[in-house]
Amino acid sequence: MFAWTVALVLAFGDSIKVKGVAFGAGAASFTARVASTTGGGTVEVRLGGPSGPVVGRCGVPNTGGRQVWTTLTYPVSGATGTQDLHLRSPAAAATCSTRTGGSAPPTSL
């Protein structure tokens, strides 16, 4: 079983790195628990670095508060092998708790 959780608050231009994620033959989805008081934020799923290729995007809706969480799943493509994963916010702030799950090779981020 492959799983991890990252809790973070992302503001404009922020990113977080998860080093050496083993995607195996590839991941198909990204699941995030998000909370936002404004909505309209986006979390980009990037490989290699904060300006690396985008393999997925997560739209963050207004959930009604910073502690009002919802779980959303988004498609990803191109995440294969072992690579550094970067979660980046190119715009509005978002609070995000992410979890990957699956077995080797993982099918979701």
pLDDT tens digits, one per residue of 7-30: 556 666 778 888 888 888 888 888
pLDDT of 107 strictly over 60: no
Cα angle 49, 88, 5 (rounded to 5 degrees) comes to: 95
Question: What pLDDT score does 61 carry?
Answer: 87
Examine residue 105 and say whether the peptide bond preceding it is cis (omega within 30 degrees of 0). Answer: yes
Average pLDDT over residues 1-12: 55
Question: What pLDDT score does 34 carry?
Answer: 80
Instruction: Provide the percentage of residues in the chain whose pLDDT is more than 90.
Output: 8
Q: What does pTM read for this prediction?
A: 0.72
